Amino acid sequence: KGRQMWMKYLAREDSRIGDLFVGQLKSCLTCSSCGYCSTAFDPFWDLSLPIAKKSYGEVNLIDCMRLFTKEDVLDGDEKPTCCHCKARTKCMKKFSIQRFPKILVLHLKRFSEARMRSSKLTTFVNFPLKDLDLREFASQNCNHAIYNLYAISNHSGTTMGGHYTAYCK
């Protein structure tokens, strides 16, 4: 089904830029009542990663990817209606990467909103310059999920203003 959805996307949006930057995200929603897994495939141009919190040591990019793909419980007001058993019930949601793009754009979610106030997360996130191996996040066997750092866009400032700089290889 992932391939079918990918071909449908390419029929509408085929371009050289898309060939380089677009990947495919797989989302699985598993019903806690009947166990049915509803799967969706969506194209992405970038991944917006939450910044992992650690009580010790450094945070690295793999920690952020693990947090992004971590199984999440949808309960309370977030409970969806299962398309199989029709019950509005607690579900488990999990993301994985179905298709990696040739050039992967990662965005770190540095701005946090809490109690009607916005703040910037200043957590240092370590990342490799070469051989970032993301195969553990693939939904199927994948040999082309290893990336080298090419560029960084950096924001200096606060939520109210600041300045962007870019570094490119």
CATH number at residue 120: 3.90.70.10
Domain that holds residue 102: 1-168
Residue-level pLDDT at 73:
93
The predicted model scores a pTM of 0.86
**Spans of the chain below 70 pLDDT:** none
- Total of domains in the chain: 1
How far is residue 154's CA from residue 37's CA, in Å, rounded to a whole number?
A: 39
**4-51 per-position pLDDT tens digit:** 888 888 888 888 998 999 999 999 999 999 999 999 999 999 999 999
Residue 142 phi/psi, 5° resolution?
A: -145, 130
